[in-house]
Structure 1
Amino acid sequence: MRTLLLATTLLAASGSAFAADDASDAAEVIEDTGITEITVTSTKRSTRIQKTPMAISAVTAETLEKTGAMTMQDYVKFVPSLKVSDDGPGRGRVSLRGIQGTGEALVGVFYDETPITGSVGVSSDAGGRNPDTTASDVERIEVLRGPQGTLFGGSTMGGAVRMIMKKPRQVYEGSFSAGYQTTDGGGDSYNYNVMANVPLIEDKLAARVVLYERDQGGYLDNVFLGKEDYNTSNVKGGRILLRYNATDALTIDAGFYTQKTDAVGNNTWFPGIGEYQTDNKLILPYTEDTKIYSLTANWDLGNYTLTGNTSYFRANSVYAADDTNYVASYRTVARCSAFLGVTCVDGTQQYADYLDYVNSYYPAAIYYPDEVRNWTNELRLSSNFEGNFNFTVGAYYEDRNQDTVGSDVLGDLETGLLLEPIKYIYYRYVVDELKQKALFGEMTYDFTDKLKLTLGGRYFEYEKMVGGETVIPWDLIGANLRPYYERNTKEDGTIFKANLSYDVNSDIMVYGNVSEGFRPGGVNQTFGLPDALIPYGSDSLTNYEAGFKTMWFNRSLVLNGAVYLVQWDNMQVSGRTPNGAFSFISNAGKAEVKGFELEGTYVPAQGVTINANYSYNDAQLTEDQINDYVTSAGRKGDRITFIPKHKAAISGNYQFPLTGAYEGFLRADVNYVGPSFSTLNPNDTYAMKNPAYTLVNLRGGVVNDAGDWEASLYINNLLNDVAIVRLTNSSTTPLGGSATSAMPRTVGVSLTKRFN
């Protein structure tokens, strides 16, 4: 009853799919209501969002600008079921509809046609180490909920997030925006964005250049090192896009993207010590340098459109984590006895010598430098027939390579810095190669003007190779000297999609959808695993969904929703070796998600827009996880970790005239995330309940009638809620667990100037 009451109260859901008077070229104003319907391209062809029979949200450029959203953590509230479990820069795990787990990404993230690839690392967990993305000068962000495997391939089992960039145009235009903010109990931050669009050859060639930087002040205090506001970060980047209109029928887009992240410390703190406080012994660096090169051609052949894309993605990163508490856990008589193979006794010289040995590795940090290189290619043909039949068919090829160093290094207990030059305790080199090939297609048949059937499929095959060697052993944790080795696995298969939609009238559409998704398996390179656990297979899911898209009250209210059942088979799950030193991936158990989503926009009066969204996800195991090596194996009925049952948001925007050629605006956003759990088994020793939280943001400002400049003042986290987004625990974590959270109350100003 409470769920139904909340859903009714929220009217609709995330009006992110719509905007009030958006200036986008790919937008259509619905009569004179002020609501603008967006055209999306997530079916690999242009369709109006209200006529696209799938659960899709489009966060518009106007919404991003009005809220100051630049990262996925900023705009996640606008989309039902979308969640990011954030452990700091470069460590966000994206989930949709309760589908979350270790391994390859479960939600694909794209810049236009280019997939953004996470680092596999030494634990094969690419989904947990995604490069940070920046929403600067974007047309819109499309979020597709549910499996997207037929058109977008593996690693879109839960859905896809597509960032559609603004393309070069044959006009001179530019913009500059800057912002400054201060955080309660923390440091100051700033950001800027610059854009310039320039025609280079009349009616033929244009360029669009974007530069940005955001410098984040810290808000965590390290009580051990005596450093305040130490978790700072700086992200700077940009892109150059070229559009060449070779002929009236052929358009070629080329792009170069670059972004560099430098972070000091991380965003983790220990509630048992105090709010926003940590006693980490080391200050941990995180750096990331990403480059993307892309080339896309669209050729209009009359009844067909041929599209080709090739993209090259490269990311170099260095990730570090404090391993000091883990090393300290070896300072026990039991550990001494296990290590030496004899009975140790406290107070003896033997035990003292053992402690001296352990202390020689104190303090220590996990240190993972790596490089990811990913080359993706797609060629597809779409029909443009006037009749009742259309199709899209294509071929896909991906070649991903990664070099990773898995190591522990020594630090300085007085300064908290890693020793320079790097002093390795142990050193392991890992190579990871993944090659994927696929043929895919969808076809749509219109039985009548109202009834349409879409069928889709994908044939895939992949090969995975993992190799490596240990050149500096560490006997304390069982990391023995190991010569170079390679392990291989491969798999192929098919997935299917069927969608039936019916237009009740011009304002109401209903649809039913059955779709399958998959993600690749792989090979573990963990010490001491039985041969049977070295490879792990792909997992897959089937999504059964019924939805509706509607407009009401002379189209001043747009209300969309879906109810779904997701069945997840052969789950990839995380395990750890008995000494806790190494993690790996295995297959165990099944899960099921039952849920529904609502989203919409309401314009009750001129200048007033209300957006809201709500999602309910009951995600739980339907089968015991039977595997002796899986840590805290779940049992039937256990809830999927870090997935709240309830997630909701509501916002209101009021635009009003001021004196002269000026308008004012006021905006409020309220975001609620329900409780979740850190382990599958609620009775596990280290189980933590992630508390519910509510965040309130306010923003107000002035814009001139021409729309070429704007000034605003904002307050994020108005109530200064300690909003913990991820809470975990382990044998080496202080009492109360380890938390990451939203920033405390933050007050800021921003200025924007546009040039035409």
Structure 2
Amino acid sequence: MKNLKSRTTARHFIQLVAGTSLAVLIAQGAMAQDAEEEADDNVIIVTATKRDANLQDIPFSINAQTAADIQRSGAVTLEDLSRNVAGLAVQNLGPGQSQVSVRGVSAGQVVRDQPGVKEQVGVYLDESVVSLSLFTPDLDLFDLNRVETLRGPQGTLFGSGSVGGTIRYITNQPRIGTTEGMVEGNLNLVDGDDIGGHLKGAVNVPLGDNAALRAVGYFTRYGGFINAIGPAGGEDVNSGERYGGRLALTFEPSDSVSITPRVVYQKVKADGFNRQEIYSLFANRFTTTRPTVTFDEREQYLLLREGFEDETLIADATIKIGLGGVDLTSVTSYIDRSILVSRDASALTGSVSVDLGYPDAAVVLPSNLRDTTDLQTFTQELRLSSNSDGPLQWVFGGFYSKIDRAYTQRLPTPGYDAFTDATLGAGTSAAVANGFPANSPFNSDLPYDIKQFAIFGEVSYDLTDALNVTAGGRYYDFKEERTITTGGLFANGDNGVVDRTKSDGFTPRLLLSYDVSEDVTINAQASKGFRLGGVNDPLNTPLCNAQDLALFGGFQNYDDETLWNYELGIKTQGDGFTFNAGAFYNDIKNLQVTLDAGSCSSRIVFNVDKAHSAGVEFELGLEPAEGFDLSLSGSLIEAEFDTTLPGALAPATGIREGNRLPSVPKFQLSAAASYEWPISDGADAYVSASFQHVGNRFTQPADQENNPRTFTHGLPFGGQPAGSATTVNLRLPSYELVNLSAGVDFDGGLSLVAYVNNLFDENALLSFDRERGGRARLGYNVGQPRTFGITARQKF
């Protein structure tokens, strides 16, 4: 019945898209025949094929949010943008900690202590790769030209991190011979009691006749909306800030040479996390010797304040040289990134202490888990591409990257060693330290050395005036070496253990594009994408119960994930409208799924033999009258496992045929409307509204098993009775967001905007948060509440 219902829903949605397509095509025929005279500012130029092209001419599914789209929507993060892009989903775990999926290709929630997991969606800043699993950079959207979302595997041109798709932040480049700039100020009120805002500026300055400099600077203060109780409690504990800038220089010594070096710096800081708790070892409704606690909405318990810092430096240089009918492009990039995640792990450590029989005084010791990542990445791409107007277009190139990633964990818990020696025997704490500091029951050092080399190419040829074929491929060779050293009571005591993994492969792509008419194109594609494999960290065996150790103890290496994508799409445009739609099927092999190893306080990556995602998506833009714009986009996706694990693994992991892939909504819908009209000779006013629906999801595959789930606590602490339990429906409910804005644009470049985001104060549950299988803590990561704001922008 489940599959029948799914197919029926998909059929209805396909009928809706087909019906809308037919209606649009009929409307196109009834409209004026001079659509080719449409103004140039309605044409969006993108570089998804590593050559400039009209968005509507790209022979696969792509979305581009322009600077005007971003400003009108009020988007300040990638998550905001995702709600307007069909098939794009972002799981927000706090500033700088987003997880991105496209078209339902998802491996589930990656947590902070999984440094070896690779990306499923590649993220680029112009030509530079900036993606990092879990820590997708929270880049500022100011002075961007556009944000491109390339759906489906982009392995041919963009490599391993793009098995599901690629997101590209395209900045405004220095403009020679032009002096221009913009300043922007904002003030907002979050949840009715915390002030946020930003101040940003950009300036473009010509340097003689053949050079220009563009500088961007910004500072943002995030208002908080999570309150905390407990010894480290307070209001709005997840406030934060982001500041940084970009400095780019373009030098053109001749008509055929362009050199653009650039430096980007950004730092993101957060005072806490967007976690709403429903149970804590220290604060719950079951305790009898401690005060009982029932958490309010957007509330958590803290023994220690938490924090997040992400400091990023990017230095890159793009050199373009025209060689007759050929362009030579070199992209060199260096990234230095430092990340600190500081968590209150007191409940986690305390739950282990209870299991070990420690006294209550040890259980309540403040314990701070500090995860640090130091990353240095060097990449070099060199490519040749055609620049003629002939029927044959091509691009060939090579890519090299070297990543040095040092990941460490420390769990400073002052006073813990004394309780360890008193409970487990004198000298126990020193015996397991393995050279790490005292009073830290868990420590690990994991340096990674990752190298990758690739050769890629793509050729496009017009077989006729209407039919174009594109073929390409990428060969890659990947090597990874990881060393692990751990120490402390909760660790295995690994000492300099080296693990190596390597792989190579070829990923082809074939596209067909047929122009039915001047304004209607049908595209078909078959393409392969890949995601590099790796090595799991050893389980924290001292923390595992026997059942979890038996279930999860045998997984070490995991292989490359591969995906074959098949899609059929239509793109049409006319006088006052565009309509793009597509249907796709992704056949996934060795899907890398992240699993929670229960009491072990560990996560592992497991290869699932077969899975798929299939669906339809559409985007419609209309201008039914002058000044009146409408847009509608949506996607319906079936993303499921096609494999059932044997025995007890299926109910423990949720990897069962027909179960959904995690974190992906089946249905997303976005609608927006705006109306602009003149209010004087020198000013135009506008009002706009948007609506976004995000369907239900599961955080992890296992959340579909035995759901609603009863988490049994029963730890003999605080007077909790042995049978105490919390029952949770792990299917995250769908949510809807409504945003409103109104503004005035003046001829002199001044714009004033007032807005309210999340008008109805929806408490969106974004993911389920648990520690030690619910023995330490249960909660949710939640979205931002109602926010009022005003923005002033001056261009010059």
User: Please, what TM-score do these two structures have when normalized by structure 2?
Assistant: 0.83
Task: Report the 3-state secondary structure (helix = DSSP H, G, I; strand = E; otherwise coil) of the residue aligned with 1:718.
Answer: coil
Task: Report the 3-state secondary structure (helix = DSSP H, G, I; strand = E; otherwise coil) of the residue aligned with 1:482.
Answer: coil
CA contact (8 A) 1:403 1:429 kept: yes
- Corresponding residue for residue 50 of structure 2: 44
Q: CA deviation at 1:584?
A: 2.5
Residue identity opposite 2:667 in structure 1: H
User: Is 2:445 aligned against 1:433?
Assistant: no
Q: 1:655 aligns with which of 655, 676, 683?
A: 676
CA contact (8 A) 1:327 1:358 kept: no
Q: 1:248 aligns with which of 234, 240, 255?
A: 255
Q: 1:615 aligns with which of 613, 635, 638?
A: 635
- Corresponding residue for residue 463 of structure 2: 447
User: Is 2:658 aligned against 1:671?
Assistant: no
- Corresponding residue for residue 398 of structure 2: 395
User: Is 2:359 aligned against 1:355?
Assistant: yes
* 666-675 vs 4-13, which moves further: 4-13
CA contact (8 A) 2:368 2:412 kept: yes
User: Is 2:780 aligned against 1:739?
Assistant: yes
Q: CA deviation at 1:731?
A: 5.0
Give the gaps of 5 or more residues in structure 2: 1-7, 22-34, 111-116, 280-294, 417-436, 542-548, 712-728
CA contact (8 A) 1:244 1:252 kept: yes
- Corresponding residue for residue 146 of structure 2: 140
Q: CA deviation at 1:140?
A: 0.7
Question: What does the per-residue CA deviation read over 1:136-172, in whole Å, with 9 as the maximum and x for residues that have no partner?
Answer: 1011111000000000000100000001110111211
Structure 2 counterparts to residues 193-208 of structure 1, below 5 A: 193-202=200-209, 204-208=210-214
Question: Identical aligned pairs, as a percentage?
Answer: 29
- Corresponding residue for residue 120 of structure 2: 106
Q: 1:636 aligns with which of 657, 666, 686?
A: 657
Q: Compute the RMSD of aligned alpha carbons.
A: 2.7
Task: Report the 3-state secondary structure (helix = DSSP H, G, I; strand = E; otherwise coil) of the residue aligned with 1:63.
Answer: helix
C-alpha separation in 2, matches of 1:57 and 1:532: 42
CA contact (8 A) 1:34 1:603 kept: no
Task: Report the 3-state secondary structure (helix = DSSP H, G, I; strand = E; otherwise coil) of the residue aligned with 1:44.
Answer: coil
Question: What does the per-residue CA deviation read over 1:52-74, in whole Å, with 9 as the maximum and x for residues that have no partner?
Answer: 11100000011112223221022
Q: CA deviation at 1:724?
A: 1.8
Residue identity opposite 2:191 in structure 1: D
Question: What does the per-residue CA deviation read over 1:599-621, in whole Å, with 9 as the maximum and x for residues that have no partner?
Answer: 02100011111111101111000
Structure 2 counterparts to residues 9-408 of structure 1, below 5 A: 31-32=37-38, 36-101=42-107, 102=110, 103-118=117-132, 127-169=133-175, 170-202=177-209, 204-224=210-230, 225-271=232-278, 273-330=295-352, 332=354, 335-336=355-356, 351=357, 354-355=358-359, 358-359=362-363, 362-408=365-411
Residue identity opposite 1:724 in structure 2: L
Q: 1:583 aligns with which of 603, 623, 635?
A: 603
CA contact (8 A) 2:348 2:777 kept: no
Q: CA deviation at 1:428?
A: 1.5
C-alpha separation in 2, matches of 1:74 and 1:725: 13
* Residues 2/513 of structure 1: CA separation in 2 closer, same or farther (3 Å cut): closer
Task: Report the 3-state secondary structure (helix = DSSP H, G, I; strand = E; otherwise coil) of the residue aligned with 2:243.
Answer: strand
* Residues 627/752 of structure 1: CA separation in 2 closer, same or farther (3 Å cut): farther
* Residues 30/692 of structure 1: CA separation in 2 closer, same or farther (3 Å cut): farther
* Residues 573/411 of structure 1: CA separation in 2 closer, same or farther (3 Å cut): farther
- Corresponding residue for residue 731 of structure 2: 689
Task: Report the 3-state secondary structure (helix = DSSP H, G, I; strand = E; otherwise coil) of the residue aligned with 1:425.
Answer: coil
Q: CA deviation at 1:357?
A: 8.4
C-alpha separation in 1, matches of 2:192 and 2:768: 21
- Corresponding residue for residue 344 of structure 1: none
CA contact (8 A) 2:601 2:771 kept: no
- Corresponding residue for residue 345 of structure 1: none
Residue identity opposite 1:191 in structure 2: H
C-alpha separation in 2, matches of 1:488 and 1:600: 48
* Residues 660/729 of structure 1: CA separation in 2 closer, same or farther (3 Å cut): same
C-alpha separation in 2, matches of 1:386 and 1:716: 46
Structure 2 counterparts to residues 597-612 of structure 1, below 5 A: 597-612=617-632
C-alpha separation in 1, matches of 2:39 and 2:381: 40
C-alpha separation in 1, matches of 2:19 and 2:240: 39
Q: 1:709 aligns with which of 741, 750, 763?
A: 750
CA contact (8 A) 1:12 1:558 kept: no
Residue identity opposite 2:747 in structure 1: D
* Residues 11/114 of structure 1: CA separation in 2 closer, same or farther (3 Å cut): farther
User: Is 2:684 aligned against 1:645?
Assistant: no
- Corresponding residue for residue 418 of structure 1: none
CA contact (8 A) 1:12 1:599 kept: no
Task: Report the 3-state secondary structure (helix = DSSP H, G, I; strand = E; otherwise coil) of the residue aligned with 1:262.
Answer: strand
Q: CA deviation at 1:583?
A: 2.1
* Residues 512/668 of structure 1: CA separation in 2 closer, same or farther (3 Å cut): same
Q: CA deviation at 1:627?
A: 9.3
Residue identity opposite 1:657 in structure 2: P
More helix by share: 2
* 450-459 vs 266-275, which moves further: 266-275
- Corresponding residue for residue 551 of structure 1: 573
* Residues 404/195 of structure 1: CA separation in 2 closer, same or farther (3 Å cut): same
C-alpha separation in 2, matches of 1:674 and 1:301: 51
C-alpha separation in 1, matches of 2:15 and 2:42: 24
C-alpha separation in 2, matches of 1:37 and 1:95: 27
Residue identity opposite 1:670 in structure 2: F
C-alpha separation in 2, matches of 1:267 and 1:412: 30
Q: CA deviation at 1:531?
A: 9.8
CA contact (8 A) 2:694 2:736 kept: yes
Residue identity opposite 2:506 in structure 1: T
* 364-373 vs 557-566, which moves further: 364-373
Q: CA deviation at 1:728?
A: 4.0
CA contact (8 A) 2:348 2:771 kept: no
* 179-188 vs 157-166, which moves further: 179-188
Residue identity opposite 2:300 in structure 1: T
* Residues 235/141 of structure 1: CA separation in 2 closer, same or farther (3 Å cut): same
C-alpha separation in 1, matches of 2:403 and 2:94: 25
C-alpha separation in 2, matches of 1:461 and 1:548: 35
User: Please, what TM-score do these two structures have when normalized by structure 1?
Assistant: 0.88
User: Is 2:511 aligned against 1:499?
Assistant: yes
CA contact (8 A) 1:150 1:495 kept: yes
How many residues get paired?
Answer: 699
Q: CA deviation at 1:408?
A: 1.3
Residue identity opposite 1:407 in structure 2: R
Question: What does the per-residue CA deviation read over 1:524-556, in whole Å, with 9 as the maximum and x for residues that have no partner?
Answer: 23246999733221111010100000124xx22
Structure 2 counterparts to residues 454-473 of structure 1, below 5 A: 454-470=470-486, 473=487
C-alpha separation in 1, matches of 2:304 and 2:185: 33
C-alpha separation in 1, matches of 2:596 and 2:625: 57
Q: CA deviation at 1:390?
A: 2.0
Q: CA deviation at 1:474?
A: 2.4
Q: CA deviation at 1:196?
A: 1.0
C-alpha separation in 2, matches of 1:58 and 1:7: 26
Q: 2:496 aligns with which of 484, 503, 511?
A: 484
Question: What does the per-residue CA deviation read over 1:189-236, in whole Å, with 9 as the maximum and x for residues that have no partner?
Answer: 01111111111122x111000001110111111022441111111000
CA contact (8 A) 2:154 2:165 kept: yes
* Residues 323/531 of structure 1: CA separation in 2 closer, same or farther (3 Å cut): closer
CA contact (8 A) 2:440 2:488 kept: no
Give the gaps of 5 or more residues in structure 1: 14-28, 119-126, 337-350, 414-420
- Corresponding residue for residue 720 of structure 2: none
